[in-house]
Amino acid sequence: MAAQRSDAALRIAAMAGLAAGVGDLLMLGVANGSSMFAGSRYVLLWLGGAIGVASIPAYYLGYASAARLLSPSLACHWLIAVGAALVALFGALTHGLTALDIHVELAAGRGARPPAEAFADPSSPLVICALLAAAGAIVATLGIVTAGMRSDRRDMMLAALLNPTVLTILMSIVATVSDPLRMYLQPSAPNLAHFAFFTLLARAAARGEPVH
């Protein structure tokens, strides 16, 4: 029963990551001036914002299930729990504030700022929330990797190594090969990374056999 609950929670979290990634792409389409979104850009912008704000808190379920599956030490459990709370809260706030930043820039007739420019002011609430979400992912990753390396299952070890922090970095590197990827994949990498991570863990939970 516990494995089934973990599997279900991980699938919910994975779908939340995919939904948040779609929300990113909607916002980025508006921000990048895609002609597809010209007629209803504000509607699509706030739809993308709402999808992410509603979805990202579900990441906490995925991290909590990861902790149950990996059976970490008490210290690692708290690292995962604290990191997950930061990701869930400040990731959602970052998503919503990004939509607001794009809206403000468009309404002022300036055109949306590139993500690098929007995140350039260290005193802005957007940047502070993004940094706290990133810090949470790193903290959770420390607990996940430490617990995963002690697991007797190779699929759990692999999932622990392919955690959201590592996957975000890998996707961001891949995104440097072309401008379209840089414009769309790089900013949405954190949410797509969570989708991939929770999907890997859900498959491992569904198998459920230890590897000796």
Q: What b/e readout covers 158-177, taking b as 16+ CB neighbours within 10 angstroms?
A: ebbebbbbebbeebbeebee
| Secondary structure (DSSP) of 89-145 | HHHHHHHHHHHHHHHHHHHTTS-PPPHHHHT--TTSHHHHHHHHHHHHHHHHHHHHH
Is the pLDDT at 186 greater than 60? The verdict is: yes
Q: Whole-angstrom Cα distance, residue 68 to residue 64? A: 6
- Model pLDDT for residues 77-133, shown as the tens digit of each residue: 999 999 999 999 999 999 999 999 889 888 887 766 666 677 777 778 999 999 999
pLDDT of residue 154: 83
pLDDT band (50, 70, 90) for residue 210: very low
pLDDT band (50, 70, 90) for residue 38: low
Dihedral sign, Cα of residue 198, residue 136, residue 165, residue 147:
negative
Q: Give the single-character DSSP code of 150.
A: T
pLDDT of residue 80: 96
Residue located via tokens 């906490």: 60
pLDDT of residue 203: 87
Contact 177, 169 (CB under 8 A): no
Q: What are the extents of the domains in the chain?
A: 2-207
Question: Looking at per-residue confidence, does 58 or 42 come out higher?
Answer: 58
Mean pLDDT, the chain, rounded, equals: 88
Is the pLDDT at 212 greater than 50? The verdict is: no
Question: Looking at per-residue confidence, does 151 or 145 come out higher?
Answer: 145
pLDDT of residue 49: 96
